[in-house]
Amino acid sequence: MKVWLLRTGMLIAGFSCLPLWADNFIVDKVYHPYVLPFEREFEWRLTSRQNDNGNVLQQRFAFGHALSERVILEAYIVGARDDYGDFGLEGYELEARWMLTEQGQYWADWGLLFEVEKQHHEDIWEATAGLLTEKEFGRTSLTTNIKVVYEWGAQINDEWEGEFKLKYRYRWIPEVQPAVEFYAAEDYLGIGPAFMGIKRFDGQQQLKWELGFITGLNGDNKDHTLRMALEFEF
């Protein structure tokens, strides 16, 4: 465990120093590297950030369908509140997750994440590739996401960005699992408590929920983010 935590600490330090993420906000779902065989899912996510520059509210609605026992494809509609307080369509996203290893097969579980996003009514594109890992230590789990992002389009400068996310979770009971989440990027560092849980029904049917409250460590007088998510798999 000490070796794993040391490696994780080195990754955090490295990603904190690099010119990484710049335009979009990093606090969002921390992905686990798992896919259920031929699963389907509906998902809703909400992110609300309050800082010195105001309040940003974003929601995502998605449907996903596994293409095989290890690969799932998910389509998102992204909505956001504008400067006038109106909520409307912001963009579209297509996401693929690939479970590379079976759970417990190796010293850690591994997966890959690929995303393509297009802004609504704007020539702005974003492509993402990410490495997902999870390691269990008794009743706790350490999950990390390392993502590299490329943005391009007629209305922005082409650029490379990056993100690092970490979740350390205590598996108390399936329905309630407290955690600590950490986010690192070029212009943002944040940490805070989170909770998640899972309620299983017949067959592969299960309902997952997540709630997190992340505090920015950038020196602003106020920088808080509330994130919530519901996911029904069947």
171-230 residue pLDDT tens: 999 999 999 999 999 889 999 999 999 999 998 899 999 999 999 998 767 899 999 999
Domains and CATH numbers, the chain: 2-233 (2.40.160.40)
Instruction: Give residues with Cβ within 8 angstroms of 48, minimum separation 6.
Output: 55, 56, 57, 58, 225, 226, 227
Residue 16 CA, chain-centre distance (Å), reads 17
- Which amino acid type is present at position 135? K
Q: How far apart are CA 99 and CA 71, in angstroms?
A: 6
74-126 residue pLDDT tens: 999 999 987 677 889 999 999 999 999 999 999 999 999 999 999 998 999 99
| Region of 221 on the Ramachandran plot (φ > 0 left; ψ -120 to 50 alpha; else beta) | alpha
Q: CA 176 → CA 67, 110, 195, 197, 204, distances in Å?
A: 30, 24, 7, 5, 19
- pLDDT over 90 for what percent of the chain? 78
Q: What is the mean pLDDT of residues 63-84?
A: 93
- Which burial class, exposed, middle or buried, applies to 22 when counting CB atoms under 10 A from its CB (0-12, 13-18, 19+)? middle
The kind and range of the H/E element at 145 are strand 140-153
